[in-house]
Amino acid sequence: MVMAAGAQTPAPDVMTYYIAAGDAATSYRPTDRQLAEWALGAWGRSSGGALRFEPGDEAHARIRVYWAAADGGQYGEMRRILVDGRLAAAVYIRPDTTALGPDISQLADRDPLMRDTIVYLTCLHELGHALGLEHTEDFRDIMYFFGYGGDIPGFFMRYRNQLRSRNDIASVAGLSSNDIARLKARH
C-alpha cells in the first residue's frame, strides 16, 4: 500500500481489472460477468481497505478475466503476465460445469444457483491466486486445492446452502477467516 500525503492510514492499492465477454463455445452466460465482479468485491471488502478494484481497459488492466472453452484444460487457471512493466494476472474461468464430472454437473443442471455457485467460487479462487495467495490444505478455505481430495460436491454445497437467491452471492463472500488473514498479511 502507498501512504496518501498527510494521511494517517495507507491509501488502498487500486487494481484495475478487465472482464472479457464470453461466447457460446465456453458456456458463458452474460450474468457470469457479474459473478466475477462480485468475487472481486468480496476480496476488496475482505482486505480491510487495502485493495480497491476499478474497471479498466484490457491493455492496462492488472487483472484480466477470460472465459475458457471446455477443451482449455483446467477448470480455472491464473497466469502471471507483465502489464506496463508490472506483474499482473490473467485469470481463465471455464463456466462449463460438465468438466467437473457427472455428480457436480447434474447438481448444476438441476439448480441454477449451484451453477452460479461453481462459477463464482472458481472466480474467487483464481482471483485469490491473482492477489498472490497459494493453495491450502484446509477444506474450509476458498484457496483449498482439490488435489488433496475430499468431498468436492460438498465444497460447493457448503456455499450454495447459504444462498436463497442469486443476489445473495453479492453479500456472501465465501472466504474463510484463514483466506482473509492470508490476504491481509500479503497486502
pLDDT at 153: 92
Q: State the chain's mean pLDDT as an integer.
A: 92
CA neighbor of 65 nearest in space, from 12, 119, 134, 118: 119
pLDDT at 75: 81
Give the pLDDT confidence of 25-68 residue by residue, as tens digits: 888 999 999 999 999 999 999 999 999 999 999 999 999 999 99
Residues lower than pLDDT 70 in the chain: 1-9, 72-73
pLDDT at 6: 53
pLDDT at 8: 60
pLDDT at 89: 98
* Strands 13-19 vs 2-3: parallel, antiparallel or unpaired: unpaired
Q: What is the DSSP string of the chain?
A: -EEPTT-SSEEPEEEEEEE----GGGT--TTHHHHHHHHHHHHHHHTTTSEEEEE--TTT-SEEEEE--GGGSSSEEEEEEEETTEEEEEEEE---GGGG-HHHHHHHHH-HHHHHHHHHHHHHHHHHHHTTPPPBS-TTSTTB-GGG-S-HHHHHHHHHTT-SSGGGGGT-----HHHHHHHHHH-
Judge residue 57's burial from the number of C-beta atoms within 10 Å of its C-beta, 0-12 exposed, 13-18 middle, 19 or more buried.
exposed
pLDDT at 155: 95
**What CATH code is carried by the domain that includes residue 172?**
3.40.390.10
The contacts of residue 85 (CB under 8 Å, 6+ apart) are none
Number of domains in the chain: 1
Q: Which residue range(s) make up the domain with 163? A: 2-186
